């Protein structure tokens, strides 16, 4: 799941309502991240959060950070740094993890400095939500289990354009090699649904609902309850390279949905109640996701795998624009709550990304699994602000600390005869 520009997770709200084409990103002004130093007292709601819950996510990111070379650069928003600063924090966190909210808060205040984040549109940004869907499946095709969840096809080719020109560094295209040895675009959703992948891709599992499968593609990962009750987790493996097209916008234009009532819930309800038209509507989005089984060392993972390569933590993992923000950084958000009432003010950790997550003050809030998570993710389309937490720089040594030893040696201070 370490891939750009179409990554594991797609924001439920944003991707349903707006497109995710890479070409569009090329034509827009380059996104930038601005950081302005502030204090923890300026973080709205800082003392009302239980930061110990964010430490669960940070510990998972630490597993990846500890694998980097200490001297490797960890630069963000013009701030220069190395992995060693993060590794020192991770080492201390592993040795003496805070056990309660107050201790966790003090830990962050002792080791980090907050910075107000700003982007092309200033300090205000957009926060959407995503979730881990639950499907029902079988390892063999039978009865109602007729919708395939495919693994990565053998003939799918990913081309790193940056290898051909530095102008395209970080950009990729996806295709297949034709009979004449030319590279052509990969099969679209319509062709795949008509059987283009027979003999070219292994079916991981068969599920019982085409609409559920479609939303699994949008989320990029999910839980599949098998016929004998076991749970299989699947996650992003590859994508067919075609741009994401928002079916919500198309359905609104066709009159299938009413203005002001376009959400994940209304789209799903319409598709389920119009089975004869649903396939054609879903084919408007020609993007197609391929999956792989996700297993931890001891079986089922603790959560779906994010683009950082660690299991996500419900309500504490945030998908960000990875071109601007490295994984593992704690981020404080203050955004409208899709459930109403007080704003969501909590500490998150950047652990994922997605094709629709573009810009500095832009996040996708991982709600977890279950009905409530699904509902809140579908409703979330919130304005808000964000603050990034970066390691405190080492204290500047005093003149005596810097030159005291030399002065002592010159004056013979502190020796046996001093």
Q: For residue range 351-372, what is the model confidence (pLDDT) as tens digits?
A: 998 777 899 999 999 999 999 9
Higher pLDDT, 343 or 405: 343
Per-chain mean pLDDT for the chain: 87
Structure tokens at 143: 């009865």
Distance (Å, rounded) from C-alpha 136 to C-alpha 226? 6
pLDDT exceeds 80 at position 376? yes
Strand 330-335, strand 381-391: pairing: antiparallel
pLDDT of res. 3 = 33
pLDDT of res. 7 = 32
Ramachandran quadrant class, 255 (left: phi over 0; alpha: psi -120 to 50; beta: rest): left
* Confidence label for 11 from pLDDT (cuts 50, 70 and 90): very low
pLDDT exceeds 80 at position 40? yes
Crossing angle of helices 264-273 and 247-254, rounded to 10°: 60
In the block, residue with structure tokens 């063999």: 140
Q: Which of 247, 265, 238, 40 is nearest to 156 (CA)?
A: 238
Q: Give tens-digit pLDDT for 185-208.
A: 999 999 999 999 988 889 999 999
Average pLDDT over residues 271-281: 95
Distance (Å, rounded) from C-alpha 352 to C-alpha 343? 22
pLDDT of res. 351 = 97
pLDDT of res. 30 = 81
In the sheet with 289-294, reading across from the earlier edge strand, the strands are 147-150, 203-207, 134-138, 221-226, 231-239, 289-294
Average pLDDT over residues 117-124: 95
CB 104 within 8 A of CB 55: yes
In the block, residue with structure tokens 């390691």: 391
pLDDT of res. 125 = 97
Give me the phi and psi of 142, to 5 degrees please. -165, 155
> What are the distances in angstroms from CA 402 to CA 24, 264, 296, 410?
53, 61, 49, 14
pLDDT of res. 19 = 37
Q: Which structural domains are found in the chain, ordered by start?
A: 12-246+285-391 (2.40.40.10)
pLDDT of res. 296 = 61
Task: Give the max Cα distance, the chain.
Answer: 98
- Report, in angstroms and rounded to the nearest whole number, the Rg of the chain calculated over CA atoms: 24
Average pLDDT over residues 345-349: 98
* Confidence label for 299 from pLDDT (cuts 50, 70 and 90): low
CB 330 within 8 A of CB 389: yes
* Confidence label for 403 from pLDDT (cuts 50, 70 and 90): low
Distance (Å, rounded) from C-alpha 145 to C-alpha 136? 8
Q: Which of 327, 325, 303, 299 is nearest to 314 (CA)?
A: 303
Residues 6+ positions from 352 with CB-CB distance below 8 Å: 7, 8, 9, 306, 307, 308, 312, 317, 318, 319, 320, 364, 366
- Within 119-223, residue ranges assigned H as helices are 189-193, 210-219
**What global pTM score does this model have?**
0.78
The count of other CB atoms within 10 Å of the CB of residue 387 is 23
* Confidence label for 268 from pLDDT (cuts 50, 70 and 90): very high
In the block, residue with structure tokens 């996650």: 235
What percentage of the chain carries pLDDT values higher than 90?
68
Using omega within 30 degrees of 0 as the cis cutoff, is the peptide bond preceding 158 cis? no
Q: Give tens-digit pLDDT for 204-239.
A: 999 999 999 999 998 888 999 999 889 999 988 999
């Amino acid at each position: 799941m370490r891939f750009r520009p179409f990554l594991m997770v797609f924001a439920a709200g944003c991707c349903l309502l707006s497109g995710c084409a890479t070409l569009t990103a090329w034509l827009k002004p380059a996104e930038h991240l601005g950081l302005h130093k502030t204090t923890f007292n300026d973080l709205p709601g800082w003392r009302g959060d239980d930061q110990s819950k964010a430490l669960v996510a940070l510990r998972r990111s630490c597993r990846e950070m500890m694998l980097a070379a200490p001297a490797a650069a960890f630069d963000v928003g013009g701030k220069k740094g190395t992995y060693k600063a993060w590794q020192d924090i991770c080492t201390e966190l592993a040795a003496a993890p805070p056990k309660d909210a107050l201790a966790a808060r003090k830990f962050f205040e002792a080791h980090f400095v907050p910075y107000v984040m700003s982007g092309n549109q200033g300090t205000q940004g957009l926060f959407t939500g995503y979730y881990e869907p639950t499907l029902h499946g079988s390892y063999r095709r039978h009865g109602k289990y007729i919708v395939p969840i495919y693994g990565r096809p053998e003939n799918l080719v990913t081309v790193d354009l940056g290898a051909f020109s530095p102008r395209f560094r970080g950009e990729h295209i996806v295709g297949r090699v034709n009979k004449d040895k030319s590279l052509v675009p990969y099969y679209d959703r319509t062709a795949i649904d008509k059987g283009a992948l027979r003999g070219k891709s292994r079916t991981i599992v068969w599920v019982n609902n085409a609409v559920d499968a479609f939303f699994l593609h949008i989320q990029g990962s999910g839980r599949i309850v098998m016929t004998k009750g076991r749970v299989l987790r699947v996650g992003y493996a590859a994508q067919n390279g075609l741009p994401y097209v928002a079916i919500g916008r198309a359905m609104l234009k066709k009159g299938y949905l009413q203005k002001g009532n376009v959400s994940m819930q209304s789209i799903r309800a319409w598709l389920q109640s119009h089975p004869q038209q649903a396939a054609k509507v879903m084919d408007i989005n020609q993007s197609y996701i391929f999956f792989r089984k996700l297993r931890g060392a001891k079986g089922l993972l603790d959560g779906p795998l994010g683009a950082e390569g660690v299991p996500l933590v419900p309500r504490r993992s945030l998908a960000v624009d990875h071109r601007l923000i490295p994984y593992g950084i704690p981020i404080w958000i203050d955004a409208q709550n899709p459930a109403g009432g007080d704003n969501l003010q909590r500490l998150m950790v950047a652990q994922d990304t997605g094709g629709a997550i573009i810009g500095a003050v832009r996040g996708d809030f991982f709600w977890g699994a279950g009905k409530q998570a699904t509902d809140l993710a579908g409703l979330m389309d919130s304005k808000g602000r964000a603050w990034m937490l970066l390691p405190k720089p080492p204290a500047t040594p005093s003149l005596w600390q810097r030159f005291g030893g030399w002065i002592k040696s010159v004056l013979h201070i502190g020796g046996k005869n001093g």
